[in-house]
Amino acid sequence: MVADYPQEFEVAKEVRNFIGDSFQVAIPESESYYLAVLLVSLRTSHSSGKIGVVVAAHGNSTASSMVQVVKQLLEVDQVTAVDMPLDMPPAVALKKIVDSVRAVNDGSGVILLVDMGSLATFNNEIQRETGVAVRTVDMVTTSIVLETVRKASVIGTDLDQLYDSLRKFRGYGAVTVEEPVTQNHHPKAILAVCASGKGTAQRIKELIQSSLSKRQNQNVEVVTLSVADLRTDLEQIQQRYRLIAATGIIDPHIDAPFISLERFIDQDVDLLLDDILLENDLSFEDEVQLDDQQAKAICVQYLEENFTYINPKKVVDPLWKFSQEIIRDLELVQAQQGFLINFVMHSAGMLERIILRQPLTVGENELEAMRSDPLYALLHVHVQSFSRLMNIEIPDAEEYYLMELVKNHREKEQYQ
């Protein structure tokens, strides 16, 4: 930009400095580039137009409300909304988004702004169906929609550059709140623990981050760990963060509230986080007692909200049987509903990854170690039977993480 349009860039810097001095605000240097692009676009013809923007979010009018505000402020028309009520199947939402992408595409690509869950997984499918370059940004807020549309309105804006700037965008300003001085000045964090650290814990992390994104001035990170890594990594994490809560399949016994996995996925995450952030009393007198029917219902609800390409009501029974047989034959005698739910949800994620051809990966040394493990032969029989039942090919790497679930559960028994 500087080399190709030096005159426009110099004028842009002068404009930025003038606005900053006039309104006594600090304007980021990056704005000079967008001002320069605007100046160039005023006198240059282009074969393509503006970048389109599609906002998609859960709820009856969440996306529409944000788009309405932005349209009133900027008077633009290259942005559209897709509302996804909670009872709308993901396939229907996908079709609506595909139609919207086609409608707003002006030849320069489309930015898709979403809130969470299945909406964040549609990017590749949309590009395949439309042939339009699409970049997806999650955890959408009104300020992000405003910033996206403002920059996308300039003819000649590069899609990838806009995408990179949005990933770094943190809002237009924040109210400074002085917190009381405590002995622990480390950043706050919530610890999520599952057997592998990659499946259920990552999903929990996404749910928490989505809820946190709705709150201002809540700089809370989410750290994931496997059961096996608790012994070696927990102390280091406590040195880096002030852990304000933990959730998952095992209580790490830290000085913070612990929410079991089965309790977490059966709660309203927003309300639960309100209690955590306000440091309300989260002591639970009774353990969660679920029968199979209740546990299955929780799994189905979770899968419906977080997965796109599997039918939760059809796969839950085979997943449940697969998990119970492994618990029985590998003699996981202390396995409770929490582990069973975790195994079912991890296996459901495995199915979706296989459908999307995006399986987990692992090194050859780890695979060789897995095959030499005495438990592998027992596990492999069930994996092969399950793959025939579902008519899929289960990669060795996915089988490795199923083995890790089993091994880490045994670690859990020793840890507690």
Give Rg (Cα) of the chain: 25
> Widest CA span of the chain, in angstroms?
74
Question: Helices 312-329 and 337-356: crossing angle, nearest 10°?
Answer: 120
Q: What is the pLDDT of residue 136?
A: 92
Q: For the domain bounded by 46-167, which CATH number is listed?
A: 3.40.50.510
Q: Where are the beta strands (DSSP E) in 59-139?
A: 79-84, 110-114, 134-137
Q: What is the pLDDT of residue 216?
A: 55
- Over residues 183-213, the pLDDT tens digits come to 557 888 999 887 666 667 777 787 788 777 7
- Beta 242-248 vs 134-137: how paired, if at all? unpaired
Q: Which residue has the tokens 């880096």?
A: 240
Contacts with 412 (C-beta within 8 Å, 6 or more apart), sequence order: 195, 227, 249, 250, 339
Count of all residues that appear for the chain in the document: 416
**Within 10 Å of residue 299's Cβ, how many Cβ atoms?**
23
Q: What is the pLDDT of residue 218?
A: 62
Tokens of 172: 């237009």
Sign of CA dihedral 272, 193, 230, 223: negative
- Over residues 402-413, the pLDDT tens digits come to 888 788 777 655
CA triple 324-328-334, angle to 5 deg: 95
Q: Which residues pair with 22 in a beta bridge?
A: none
- Beta 258-260 vs 52-58: how paired, if at all? unpaired
Q: Which residues pair with 110 in a beta bridge?
A: 52, 134
Q: What is the pLDDT of residue 343?
A: 86
Q: What is the pLDDT of residue 116?
A: 82
Q: How far is CA 120 from CA 124, 137, 399, in A?
A: 10, 8, 26
Task: Provide DSSP, 163-187.
Answer: HHHHHT---S-----PPPP-S--SP
pLDDT tens for the chain, 416 residues long, are 456 678 888 888 899 888 888 888 888 887 887 788 777 766 554 445 788 999 999 988 899 999 999 888 888 878 999 999 888 888 899 999 999 999 999 888 999 999 887 788 889 899 999 999 999 998 888 889 998 888 887 766 788 888 888 887 776 655 444 545 445 578 889 998 876 666 677 777 877 887 777 665 467 888 888 766 777 888 899 999 999 888 876 778 888 888 877 677 666 777 777 777 776 555 544 455 667 888 888 888 888 877 888 999 999 999 999 999 998 888 776 656 767 887 888 899 899 889 988 888 888 998 999 999 988 999 999 999 999 999 999 999 899 888 887 887 776 555 45
pTM of the model: 0.47
Q: For the domain bounded by 188-277, which CATH number is listed?
A: 3.40.50
Q: What is the pLDDT of residue 53?
A: 93
**Within 10 Å of residue 62's Cβ, how many Cβ atoms?**
18
Residues 148, 343: Cα–Cα separation, whole Å: 39
